[in-house]
Amino acid sequence: MPRYEFKCPACDWHGLLWKSMNHCNRALCPSCGEDVSRNYSNMGMPNTQSPAIDNKFFNNGAGEYDPGLGEVIRSRRHRQEVMERKGLHEVSKYDKDSFTKEREHQPMTDAEAADQYDKAVGMVKSGEWKAGLSEERVQEIESGRGKDAEGTEG
């Protein structure tokens, strides 16, 4: 069934409705129930999408819950507003390669390795390495009874 563009003179609703070809000039407004008149513009042409109007993927304006955003999304524009408010941006299929491509491993330079070693020694001397560990775990590590790298009792 094709979609036809309609405009309601009573409440100014404007959108696309699925109608059979035999009844393409008769429809009721989904907002107020009044008779709507057929409107002729580019939006009603086949294969034309209007993000502000065509919301068939969002339950015709009632909304669909998006678990990623944690909200009910009522249109494409509303989805963009929610994502902007949460500081997110949509990744297109063309951006996929930049996220899935494996990064090249860059070996550490001697200066970076020496700096990392100095930081580790400083953490051990100051006791900073104990932060976030339970007292029991700190005692196990200091006494040497803790688990070794393979996870077996040492």
Q: Which residue has the tokens 């001697």?
A: 110
Residue 114 has pLDDT above 60, yes or no: yes
Percent of residues in the chain assigned helix, strand, coil, to nearest 5: 35, 15, 50
How many Cβ atoms from other residues are within 10 Å of residue 116's Cβ? Answer: 11
The string of pLDDT tens digits covering residues 7-59 is 888 887 888 888 887 877 778 888 888 888 887 765 544 444 444 444 555 66
E strand intervals along the chain? 3-7, 14-18, 37-38, 64-66, 71-73
pTM greater than the 0.75 cutoff: no
Cα–Cα distance between 79 and 84 in angstroms, integer? Answer: 9
Q: CB under 8 Å to 53, separation ≥6 — which residues?
A: 14, 15, 16, 43
Q: Does residue 131 carry a pLDDT above 90?
A: no
Least confident range of 81-85, 100-104, 116-120: 100-104
